[in-house]
């Protein structure tokens, strides 16, 4: 018989080992014991990861979970799913031998975690940053050694990320040193919790007007500053050299994981009783249904016109490149007030959302906007809304095309998806769950399903009352439905990347540049793209099942489980019923 104490002890041992093996992941969770390290991605380091995970699996298998109380049983299932997911990537798919992107993103996200979160005095974070900068050449070299004949789309993405990484390091390190010297001169070593935003303190408003953290990193003395400069230059040079080496790499490998591994991921990680062909069929149904809604809406409001022509015309009304971040900030203020006024969900006290530019190294795969959640184990709960800036080096025509994707009829839907009541609200709630295990849980089915559900919710509540806003909400719904078709089809070999781009451009009417970035990401992340529409549908099913609950109570109960698969959410909600 398993006791709660025995499981809690085992869970703590499990995650302690995970933090040691994956120090960058630990940093983003708010566990800072390993902030001076990167994961060992050498072949020997990978072997040690596999050995440790198998030993952890044996320990978990020794526990009889059947007599655990429900909340602990759910936590047990989450630990098992996490372990299976890591072994799936390491041994079943063997990403370490075929995906060069992971060797670029590991160090870059390791740097970003130290730069963007003011969780400790600047001097401490500066010293950790220096150590991680010095480890970058080894991480990149491991990628060149381990990866053989990667898929072309993986290699191209790794090249773009490495080039962006060189730019990020070259710009960030000098800027942060300068900011830290100012911090040192002021005598304030840790100003983040009292930083002024919108002319008020962080406790008075949840938004920040800075484009990037002005006090994120510091140099405690001249030696540290000089060492950071030198290490930054070496790291930038290493990224440039890595991009050049990847450009000479033979890249003819297969990106698709195949149906067996795709279905295994659906079952073990998302806890879905479905197959790749069934998922694609669901996607086609959702796509046709949404397309019918779009055509009906346009027929009622712009008779005789093709919906794509209406969308193209409306896209001409957009913010300027310089005004893009400000437009999103203003929209988020309105959204937050609407959620409170309509009593749609509880917004946690003390939450904060910073609207900042997408880091350079992530712009290859984040064409427009994304959300980075708060670290669940940190006291200061601040999320980041990333907005990819308009490319100043692009042609005027290309810049205009980028801006058209942020038109005034579109960005409210993006803002609510990423901010309120979408990702930011949901992940703020998840990070405050009392369970240690739940703070580590990261179900994209729940997180993306919730954010996509919020788009329909806000339309139902009247926030998207203008038919043109509703048109763009449905257009985004069409795009998410297309993902449910494309994701399993790409990874079972029934659709090529070019066919996927064509479906997004001709069917969902995405701009080609956005469609290409989307498909590149789909190739890298099997089963993630389908989570938006499938997760949303699971929430709608739960809302119907628990229809007697007031809307706010339903949302609060739903969000109260954390970011976990809906199978487990439903079990907890039924127990509360």
Determine the Cα–Cα distance for residues 262 and 494; give it in Å rounded to an integer.
13
Residues 439 and 561 in one domain: yes
Judge if the upstream peptide bond of residue 217 is cis by omega within 30 degrees of 0: no
For each successive 10 residues of the chain (577 residues), what is the average pLDDT? 86 98 97 98 98 97 92 97 98 98 96 85 86 97 97 96 91 74 67 30 32 37 86 96 97 97 98 98 98 98 96 95 96 97 94 89 76 89 91 92 92 96 96 95 97 98 97 96 98 98 94 88 97 98 97 97 97 90
Task: State the Rg of the chain over Cα.
Answer: 23
Residues 94 and 163 in one domain: yes
Residues 226 and 312 in one domain: no
Residues 228 and 285 in one domain: no
**CB under 8 Å to 241, separation ≥6 — which residues?**
none
Q: Is 180 inside any structural domain?
A: yes
Which whole-number Å values give the CA distances from 445 to 79, 271, 372, in the listed order?
Answer: 16, 10, 16
Domain range enclosing 552? 261-320+339-348+395-576
Q: Is 387 inside any structural domain?
A: no
Residues 243 and 267 in one domain: no
Inter-residue contact 1 to 67 (CB < 8 Å): yes
Determine the Cα–Cα distance for residues 190 and 126; give it in Å rounded to an integer.
13
Q: Is 187 inside any structural domain?
A: yes
Residues 246 and 296 in one domain: no
Determine the Cα–Cα distance for residues 400 and 403; give it in Å rounded to an integer.
5
Q: CA 148, 106, 530, 455 torsion: positive or negative? A: negative
In terms of Cβ atoms closer than 10 Å to its own Cβ (0-12, 13-18, 19+), residue 453 is buried
In terms of Cβ atoms closer than 10 Å to its own Cβ (0-12, 13-18, 19+), residue 67 is exposed
Q: What are phi and psi of 508, to 5 degrees?
A: -95, -5
DSSP-H helix ranges across 30-151: 43-61, 70-87, 95-98, 101-116, 122-146
DSSP-H helix ranges across 422-550: 423-431, 436-440, 444-460, 467-491, 497-502, 512-524, 531-545
Q: Is 371 inside any structural domain?
A: no
Tokens of residue 291, six digits: 């397309």
pLDDT at 350: 85
pLDDT at 119: 85
Residues 149 and 50 in one domain: yes
**What's the total number of domains in the chain?**
2
Residues 486 and 470 in one domain: yes
Residues 515 and 561 in one domain: yes
Pairing mode of beta strands 382-387, 352-357:
parallel
Residue with the two structure tokens 């346009």: 298
Q: Is 233 inside any structural domain?
A: yes
Tokens of residue 344, six digits: 């749609």
Q: Is 373 inside any structural domain?
A: no
Residues 41 and 176 in one domain: yes
**CB under 8 Å to 323, separation ≥6 — which residues?**
none
DSSP-H helix ranges across 302-443: 307-314, 324-341, 396-404, 411-418, 423-431, 436-440
Determine the Cα–Cα distance for residues 535 and 529; give it in Å rounded to an integer.
11
Q: Is 564 inside any structural domain?
A: yes
pLDDT at 224: 87
Residues 56 and 70 in one domain: yes
Residues 449 and 514 in one domain: yes
Q: Is 449 inside any structural domain?
A: yes
Determine the Cα–Cα distance for residues 356 and 329; give it in Å rounded to an integer.
10
């Amino acid at each position: 018989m398993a006791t709660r104490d025995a499981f809690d002890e085992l869970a703590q041992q499990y995650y302690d080992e995970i933090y040691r093996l994956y120090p960058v992941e630990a940093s983003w969770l708010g566990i800072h014991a390993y902030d001076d390290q990167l994961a060992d991605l050498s072949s020997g380091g990978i072997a040690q990861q596999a050995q440790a995970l198998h030993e952890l699996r044996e320990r978990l298998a020794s526990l009889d979970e059947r007599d655990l109380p429900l909340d602990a049983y759910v936590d047990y299932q989450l630990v098992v799913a996490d372990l299976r997911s890591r072994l799936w990537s390491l041994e079943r798919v063997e990403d370490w031998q075929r995906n060069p992107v992971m060797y670029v993103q590991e160090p870059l996200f390791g740097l970003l975690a130290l730069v963007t979160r003011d969780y400790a005095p600047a001097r401490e974070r500066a010293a950790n940053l220096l150590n991680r900068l010095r480890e970058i050449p080894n991480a990149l070299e491991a990628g060149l050694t381990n990866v053989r004949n990667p898929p072309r789309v993986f290699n191209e993405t790794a090249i773009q990320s490495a080039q962006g990484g060189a730019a990020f390091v070259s710009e960030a390190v000098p800027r942060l040193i300068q900011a830290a010297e100012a911090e040192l001169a002021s005598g304030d070593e840790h100003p983040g919790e009292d930083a002024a935003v919108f002319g008020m303190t962080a406790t008075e408003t949840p938004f920040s007007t800075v484009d990037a953290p002005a006090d994120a990193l510091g140099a405690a003395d001249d030696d540290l500053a000089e060492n950071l400069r030198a290490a930054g230059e070496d790291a930038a040079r290493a990224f440039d050299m890595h991009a050049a080496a990847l450009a000479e790499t033979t890249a003819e490998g297969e990106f698709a994981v195949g149906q067996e591994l795709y279905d295994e991921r659906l079952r073990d990680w998302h806890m879905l009783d479905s197959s790749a062909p069934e998922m694609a069929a669901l996607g086609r149904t959702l796509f046709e249904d949404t397309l019918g809604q779009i055509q009906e809406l346009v027929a009622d409001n712009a008779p005789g016109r093709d919906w794509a022509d209406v969308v193209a015309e409306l896209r001409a009304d957009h913010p300027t490149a310089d005004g893009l971040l400000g437009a999103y900030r203003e929209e988020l203020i309105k959204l937050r007030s609407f959620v409170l006024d309509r009593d749609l969900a509880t917004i946690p006290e003390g939450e904060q959302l910073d609207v900042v530019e997408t880091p350079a190294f992530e712009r290859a795969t984040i064409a427009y906007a994304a959300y980075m959640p708060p670290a669940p184990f940190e006291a200061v709960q601040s999320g980041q809304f990333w907005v990819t800036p308009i490319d100043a080096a692009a042609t005027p025509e290309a810049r205009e095309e980028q801006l058209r994707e942020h038109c005034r009829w579109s960005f409210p839907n993006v803002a609510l998806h990423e901010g309120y009541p979408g990702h930011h609200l949901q992940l703020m709630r998840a990070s405050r769950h009392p369970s240690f295990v739940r703070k580590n849980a990261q179900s994209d089915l729940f997180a993306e399903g919730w954010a996509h559900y919020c788009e329909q919710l806000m339309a139902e509540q009247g926030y998207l009352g203008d038919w043109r806003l509703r048109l763009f909400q449905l257009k985004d719904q069409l795009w998410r439905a297309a993902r449910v078709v494309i994701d399993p089809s790409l990874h079972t070999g029934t659709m090529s990347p070019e066919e996927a781009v064509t479906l997004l451009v001709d069917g969902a009417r995405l701009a080609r540049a956005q469609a290409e970035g989307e498909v590149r990401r789909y190739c890298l992340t099997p089963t993630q793209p389908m989570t938006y529409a499938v997760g949303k549908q699971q929430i709608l099913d739960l809302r119907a099942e628990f229809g007697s609950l007031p809307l706010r109570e339903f949302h609060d109960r739903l969000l109260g489980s954390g970011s976990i698969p809906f199978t487990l959410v439903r079990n907890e909600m039924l127990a509360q019923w």
